[in-house]
Every structure is written in structure tokens, then in C-alpha cells.
Amino acid sequence: MAVHNTEENKRYDTTVRCIESLLPQIRDAGHDLWVVDNASSCRRTIEYLDNTIVNLIRHKENLGTAAAINAAWHHRLPGQHAVKMDNDVVIRHAGWVEDMVEAIAREPRIGIVGLKRNDCWEHPTHQNDDLRSELIMLSKTSAMRWMVVEKVFHVMGTCQMYSSAFLDRIGYLYQPSLYGYDDVLAAHRCYMADMWSVFLPHIAIDHIDPGDTPYQKWKEEHSGAVMDQVMNIAREYRRGYRSIYYNPFQAE
């Protein structure tokens, strides 16, 4: 999880609600939570993270979402899947990590599996080709429960698990700026790796960003400013001009 909290963007409350919803599940299941603080200036955030998070990485400047997540993923063990999630989501479904892992185990072609926000528009009968999804019943043995995934082109990056096999193919996240589109570019890389992007639609999540702070306006303006650059990178992936593998730690 990447965190960049300032007094202006008012992300302290959402960050605390998000982390507090995760901690009981993490403790019970033995998962690791890594938080990367991208130079937060909010004193309450700094104190909360110091007192709460065991695996805490601090950057002296805001390096952007992808660089922050990559810093945590750099500690990934061989064969280990990795989650990327935002700090403005509450997940109440117990065992959601295990459900993601199970989906990947049942279908090795899954590269990205995500949890679906209510404001996502993908569904099987959508008239827009880019938003038309496919519901797939995963293979099972007689003792297994039935499990359905929703195959899509793009899994919104609010909460995603990247399979170990896919990470071995792509290395790390990439984005050309501080915010946004790491998930979009990951979708193109997943497609080029001939792997699937899917939602687990049975798991409800709450997106708790109020969307009425100056931070929201900054995100919209920033996203618009880099859109053409992102589309050019996506075309380079699709045409084979740019490798889908990216490793910012290659020189180490």
C-alpha cells in the first residue's frame, strides 16, 4: 500500500479506516502488510504508521504509486503472489486474500485478480466492447466449491493481486508519472503475456474516498495531462516496441 498524506488532501481518516479493516484479517491469516510512505507531511499519519505498521518503508520524497508499490514488492519471496491496493478501501469479506489465491491456483492463466468496486461498469452484456466481460466457472474437483470469475480487459487498481507467474514475466509496475495508469498499463502487459485479468465479483468492497477534496481535482487534472503519454506506451506494448518486463532494481 502506498501512502502520501498531507493536510490538504485529507487522506488520514481513509488511511486509518482502510488499515484498521485489514489488520484483523492479516493477523488471523498470517499475511504481511507492507506500507510505503511517500513523504507524508500529515503528522497524525506519520505517528499512526510508526505505531501500527511493522513493515514500513519511508521515502523522503513522493516517488509515485508504482515506485512505492515496487519498493514493497522488492521483498517478495520466490513463488509469492503480491497485492497492490489503495489506502481508501474497506474490505469486510473474510478470506478475500485466500479467495484470490484460490482463483489463481485453479486457473494458472490468471495474471491479475482484483476486487470490483460498485462504480466499475464491466458486465457481460455491455454494448462497449472494452467493457464487455465474460463470466467463467473455474475448474474444480468434486470436493471444491463452485467459483466464478469475471474476465475483463482492465481490473481497476483499487485492490489487485498479481500472480507470481505474471510478476516473473513483467517484473514490476510502471507508470510515467506520480499517479495513475499503473493498472491500465499492467492490463496491457497482462494481455501481451497471454494471461487473464479477472474480478472476483462476489466480494464486496467499499471505496471510501469522499471525492470532494482538492486531491480529487489534482488527480483528474494530472490524469488528463498524461493520457496521451500513457496511450503511446500502451501502443508500444501492443506492437512489441516496448518490453513488458520492467525492473527498476536491475542494476542492484
The whole-number pLDDT of residue 119 equals 93
Tell which CATH architecture fits domain 2-239: Alpha-Beta Complex (3.90)
What parts of the chain have a pLDDT lower than 70? 251-252
Could you give the CA distance from residue 119 to residue 121 in angstroms, rounded to a whole number?
A: 6
**What one-character DSSP code corresponds to residue 155?**
-
Number of DSSP helices (H) and strands (E) in the chain, helices first: 7, 11
What tens digit of pLDDT does each residue of 118-132 get?
999 999 999 999 999
The whole-number pLDDT of residue 223 equals 82
The whole-number pLDDT of residue 221 equals 83
What tens digit of pLDDT does each residue of 87-111 get?
999 998 989 999 999 999 999 999 9
What tens digit of pLDDT does each residue of 217-229 get?
777 888 888 999 9
- Rounded to two decimals, what is the model's pTM? 0.95
Could you give the CA distance from residue 118 to residue 129 in angstroms, rounded to a whole number?
A: 20
The whole-number pLDDT of residue 251 equals 64
Could you give the CA distance from residue 57 to residue 36 in angstroms, rounded to a whole number?
A: 5
| Residue 183 grid cell | 493498472
Amino acid at 182: D
The whole-number pLDDT of residue 252 equals 52
Domain boundaries, the chain: 2-239
Q: Residue 85 is inside which H or E element, if any?
A: strand 82-85
The whole-number pLDDT of residue 217 equals 79
Could you give the CA distance from residue 92 to residue 215 in angstroms, rounded to a whole number?
A: 26
Could you give the CA distance from residue 101 to residue 173 in angstroms, rounded to a whole number?
A: 20
The position carrying cell 486474500 is: 97
